[in-house]
Amino acid sequence: MYVLGLEGTAHTVSASILDERKIYSLVSKTYRPEEGGINPREAADFHFANIVDVITQAISEASIKPDEIGLVSFSRGPGLPPSLKIVATAARAMAIKYRIPIVGVNHPLGHIEIGRRETGCNDPVMLYVSGGNTQIIAYRNGHYRVFGETLDIGIGNLLDKIARLMGFPFPGGPEVEAMALRGGKLLDMPYTVRGMDTAFSGMYTAAAGFLKKGERPEDVCMSVQEYAFSMLVETLERAIFTTGKKSILLAGGVARNRRLREMIQVMAGEAGIEVFETPDRYCMDNGAMIGQAGLLTYLARGPDDMEDTGIDQFFRIDQAYASWVKVDETIYTDRGAESRIRRTEFHGFDAIEKERVPKGYRIPAMDTMIRVARMKREITMLNRMKKAGIPVPDLFSLNMDKASFMMEDIRGTNIGFARISDSSIAQELGRIVGKMHSSGLCHGDLTMNNIILRDGRLFLIDPSMGSVTDRIQDFAYDMRLLNESAVASLPGGDDFMDMVKKGYMENFESGKKVIDELANIEKRRRYA
């Protein structure tokens, strides 16, 4: 069956003809503003002026007639509403004129499905990095789930904004990459990671400040890449160990960056994970990826009704239908994403030695700084949490030279790996987190994998990104990490979190304010 795939979420309008066996054509045209970033109205005007041409050329290059098309697939969202409307209108016109079934699909779903098709990978963790999106996605419990994402601007947006500071046109990522190759001095940049989420706006502010002070643009670009990509690779590795997946898929325009690919390959080699790189032609937004996602959707559940083909600028991949994925067997280990764990004894007590291992993908000076800082913070937070009555392992000894320490071995079950969803456990977890927050302590990486159940008791581990704070927003981000992890990991994750919130508000006077702020954060999420 021939499928016409139409893409037009942002700067590129594209059409492709494909079937189950072959991609017959791919025609794309890209709006490039003379200055500044994308103007939504100008992008829509560009799409309007070119949509007929790209469709006509794609059909011609495929050597078929319009009435031979068996399905029209279009990008329903997320994206810029004016651009989305142009492509959706064209798709509906084709479907009505030629009486063709129609399917509206999720844009990120297109990236992952064209990547799976072209590379042969089956059940990966996908790093999707572009101007408008920065996400870590994996298949779990019948849906693709977002395990981590940017909390402010996308990585591609960051690179474009920095390029504009130096007078380079859109898109600026390739110019930043070229400048970085000539850099030699690592400047101190913000390194902002929350669990598997990242934030980049502080890095833009720092870069602007360095340029104003007269630092070499080459050094600024190199530093931005090293810090930003290290953040991405760290969170990607954490997602690998959280999900137990055996492969990585790279997608999106920024995934073409050679330094990012090099860093991911190093990390994957250290972790024993295979990396699949979406071919450059399909990394950028394109009609073939929409056609592939539409084909799979249609074969799995049939076409959309015409009244259901409206655009959705906030259409998240975890809302998209994707029943066709055959999940690989997951592999979990005792090793963490950042640490090597060794079981031992300490004066007759069961103990573990936790050593923060060097990361070959990071510049050595940066790597040492991060490992030592994380170790010190973990020790500080464990002490504070213990004094506040939070169930955490006892500390035994410290070795600064090895960036390691020894602590009590909590020989229990990781509730993330075991997928424990008991409501009484959920409510008790809420009480513990509520007590922690009421003591002015924020865990910083509150995911299901950092919670251990032993003999009916819960313990929190690895608060290495925690902080002492009284900010409602900090507590809300803690709860957001837990919520995202539970929903992604557990059958009935939403019900589990309802019980967590109940216990949380029982034990924290400001709990209702935190839950309200959590709802506000969910509403503000830009990156879908």
Residue 23: per-residue pLDDT: 98
Query: What single-letter amino acid sits at 449?
Result: N
pLDDT digits (tens, 9 = 90+) for 259-300: 999 999 999 999 899 999 999 999 999 999 999 999 999 999
Residues 3/70, Cβ–Cβ less than 8 Å: yes
Give me the mean pLDDT over the 234-258 stretch: 93
- The pLDDT confidence band at residue 526, using thresholds 50, 70 and 90, is very low
**Average pLDDT of the residues in 154-163:** 94
> For residue 331, what pLDDT is reported?
61
Q: Which of 445, 393, 475, 459 minimizes the C-alpha distance to 239?
A: 445
**Whether the predicted pLDDT of 200 surpasses 60:** yes
Find how far residue 422's CA is from the centre of its chain. Answer: 28
Mean pLDDT of 163-173: 89
What integer pLDDT is reported at residue 108 of this predicted model? Answer: 93
Residue 488's pLDDT is 80
Do 125-244 and 339-408 come out as alike in CATH topology? no
Is the predicted pLDDT of residue 132 greater than 90, yes or no? Answer: no
Whether pLDDT at 330 is above 70: no
Q: Determine contact, residues 76/106, Cβ cutoff 8 Å.
A: yes
Q: Give the helix/strand (H/E) hosting 145.
A: strand 143-149
Report the CATH superfamily, name and number, of domain 339-408.
Phosphorylase Kinase; domain 1 (3.30.200.20)
Task: Quote the DSSP letter at residue 307.
Answer: G
Pick the CATH number of 413-524 from 1.10.510.10, 1.10.10.350, 2.130.10.10, 3.20.20.70: 1.10.510.10
Rg (CA), the chain: 24
Q: Quick one: pLDDT at residue 321?
A: 86
What is the spatial distance between Cα 447 and Cα 470, in angstroms, rounded to a whole number?
21
pLDDT tens digits, 107-116: 999 999 999 9
Q: Give the residue extent of every domain in the chain.
A: 2-114+283-315, 125-244, 339-408, 413-524
Would you place residue 528 in the very low, low, confident or very high pLDDT band (cuts 50, 70, 90)? very low
Q: How much is the average pLDDT of 151-168?
A: 93
E strands, 348-500, where? 349-356, 395-399, 404-408, 413-414, 441-442, 451-454, 457-460, 467-468
Percentage with pLDDT > 90 across the chain: 77
Mean pLDDT of 215-229: 97
Low-confidence winner among 144-153, 280-289, 394-403 (lowest mean pLDDT): 394-403
Contact 499, 430 (CB under 8 A): yes
Distance CA 527, CA 199 (A): 12
User: Most confidently modeled of 27-41, 132-146, 207-221, 305-319?
Assistant: 207-221
Q: How far is CA 337 from CA 58, 376, 458, in A?
A: 45, 18, 22
Per-residue CA distances from 340 to 245, 355, 361, 380, 392 (Å): 19, 5, 17, 20, 19
Q: What is the mean pLDDT of residues 442-462?
A: 93
- Selected from 3.40.190.10, 3.30.559.10, 3.30.1490.190, 3.30.420.40, the CATH number assigned to the domain covering 2-114+283-315 reads 3.30.420.40
Residue 105 scores a pLDDT above 50 = yes
- Please state which architecture CATH assigns to domain 125-244: 2-Layer Sandwich (3.30)
pLDDT-based confidence at 318, cuts 50/70/90? confident
Question: Among residues 94, 61, 97, 82, which one has the least CA distance to residue 13?
Answer: 82
pLDDT category at 308 given cuts 50, 70, 90 is very high
- Please give the average per-residue pLDDT across 36-53, as a whole number: 91
Compute how many other C-beta atoms are within 10 angstroms of the C-beta atom of residue 424. 10
Q: What is the mean pLDDT of residues 361-365?
A: 94
- Residue 201's pLDDT is 94
Residue 332 confidence (pLDDT): 53
Q: What is the mean pLDDT of the chain?
A: 92
The pLDDT assigned to 245 comes to 92
Give dist(CA 433, CA 439) in Å, integer. 10
Q: Catalytic: 516?
A: no
Rounded Cα gap, residues 503 and 512, in angstroms: 11
Question: What confidence category does residue 243 fall into, taking pLDDT thresholds of 50, 70 and 90?
Answer: confident
Give the tens place of pLDDT for each residue, 45-96: 999 999 999 999 999 999 999 999 999 999 999 999 999 999 999 999 999 9
pTM: 0.88
- pLDDT tier, 527 (very low <50, low <70, confident <90, very high otherwise): very low
**In the predicted model, what is the mean pLDDT of residues 182-202?**
93
pLDDT at 36: 67
**pLDDT score for 249:** 97
Catalytic residue among 160, 219, 285, 445: 445
* pLDDT bucket at 525, cuts 50 / 70 / 90: low
